[in-house]
Amino acid sequence: MPFPVRVGDKWTAKILVCLRDGPRRFSELQVPLARVTPKVLTESLRAMERDGMITRTVYDEMPPRVEYELTPLGHTLFEPLAASCAWNAEHGEAVARAREEHAQRV
């Protein structure tokens, strides 16, 4: 099942935001994404690379440096992402209320 692109998982959307303004190193991503383990971060990044959303560039230095950067295709994801954020901003409160009322009735 190739589609759709996994932006609904736990970290992809946040990685997108972190890469919005330019390339970032692995350790630079771990800072804003607090509590993401390296294993999971790597998995997410590899999946995004496989889908053409980001590029992974290894600089042969010591100590090692690896940079991740959004592709043009990756940047296009901000459009649907913005729509989802706008929905949350506009209706998130209503959902919270619905959940509380539902909890009351039970």
Cβ contacts of residue 23 below 8 Å, gap of 6+? 57, 67, 68, 69
* Stretch 62-81 residues interacting with a copy of itself (CB under 8 A): 73, 76-77, 79-80
| Binding stretches for DNA (CB under 7 A) | 6, 9-11, 25-28, 35-40, 42-45, 56, 63-66
The reply to whether 57 sits near a copy of itself by the rule CB under 8 A is: no
Q: How far apart are CA 30 and CA 47, in angstroms?
A: 17
| Contact letters for a copy of itself, residues 25-54 (x by CB under 8 A) | ------------------------xxxx--
- Tell me how far apart the terminal alpha carbons of the chain are, to the nearest angstrom: 38
